[in-house]
Structure 1
Amino acid sequence: MEASNKKPTVLVVEDHADSREMLCELLRQGGLSVLAASDGVEAIAFLQSHMPALVLTDLRMPRMDGMELARYIKSHERYAHIPVVLISANLPAASARIPTIAAFLLKPCSVDHLLGTVTGLLRQSAQSQAQRSLQG
């Protein structure tokens, strides 16, 4: 049962270095393991070699934005189980209905709201994976 003691890993995808480091530090302080990418293309490279428990991504980024990344993740069976949280200062109203996103966070967002959302989704995801393992 050693694996259950392992910290969940969150992949933070943010093109602004200061914001990326701040998010990573807050998540580490919340007891999580963190990987960081500067855009969606770099995030996909991380997905090839790591399997994060959750992806926290900015909306607007160069090369591949957060919505494109979320669609990529959900369209690939290997990654489709990974919850994607979108964080942005400007969220389009219609995006709240897009099923590829597990949650939206508006910048600036409180530490408690960030950690509460992320840990809640990690808990739900772990429970879903445990149920799938028992069924399969």
Structure 2
Amino acid sequence: MATISKAPTVLVVEDHAESRAMLCGILQQGGLQVVAAADGVEAIALMPEHVPDLILTDLRMPRMDGMELARYTSSHERFSRIPVVLISAHLPAASARLSTIAAFLLKPCSVDHLLGTVTDLLRQRAQSQARRSFQV
């Protein structure tokens, strides 16, 4: 009997509606499920019901930026193993090199680079989860 596995879910956090729609479309075309938020505050409100497998977040946003969102997720056990990818037209400060950030993508980013980064991190996360489930 074959089992149907659910596509991984990516939480896209981007304050510019056009960029958010574009990122969501690219990820959906890549076979991923997508949940979208306009900033970190909205993302946190969505996360309990839609726990993502990966977070793709803009660096600079009102109310709560990408670094603050990454710090939030890393400090909560339920979300601490979710990879966070920062995407921005601005280079992040040295603090963005924290272990809370899995990758940084500079805008504009090619579709291939975006999907490659996201799928690689999702594969790594799935392998890590599989190893943890076999540990006694």
TM-score scaled by length of structure 1? 0.95
How far does residue 48 in structure 1 lie from its aligned partner after superposition? 1.6
Moved over 3 A (4+): none
Measured in 1, the distance between the counterparts of 2:3 and 2:54 equals 20
**Contact preservation (8 Å) 2:67, 2:96:** no
**Counterpart code for 1:99:** S
Give 1 or 2: higher helix fraction. 1
Where 1:91 maps in the other structure, the secondary structure is: coil
TM-score scaled by length of structure 2? 0.95
**Counterpart code for 2:16:** H
Measured in 1, the distance between the counterparts of 2:16 and 2:10 equals 17
Task: Spell out, residue by residue over 1:67-126, the C-alpha distance to the aligned partner (whole angstroms, 9 max, x if none).
Answer: 000000000000001000000000225145211100000000000000000000000000
Where 1:6 maps in the other structure, the secondary structure is: coil
**Counterpart code for 1:64:** M
Where in structure 2 are the equivalents of 1:37-116 lying within 5 Å? 37-116=37-116
Measured in 2, the distance between the counterparts of 1:59 and 1:116 equals 20
How far does residue 22 in structure 1 lie from its aligned partner after superposition? 0.1
Q: Which runs of 5+ in 1 are unaligned?
A: none
**Counterpart code for 1:37:** A
Q: How many residues align?
A: 135
Report what 2:14 is aligned to: 14
**Counterpart code for 2:9:** T
**Contact preservation (8 Å) 2:59, 2:92:** no
Report what 2:36 is aligned to: 36
Where 1:77 maps in the other structure, the secondary structure is: coil
Where 1:63 maps in the other structure, the secondary structure is: coil
Measured in 2, the distance between the counterparts of 1:51 and 1:133 equals 18
How far does residue 50 in structure 1 lie from its aligned partner after superposition? 1.3
Measured in 1, the distance between the counterparts of 2:38 and 2:93 equals 25
Identity %: 76
Measured in 1, the distance between the counterparts of 2:97 and 2:44 equals 24
RMSD: 1.2
Report what 1:25 is aligned to: 25
Q: Which runs of 5+ in 2 are unaligned?
A: none
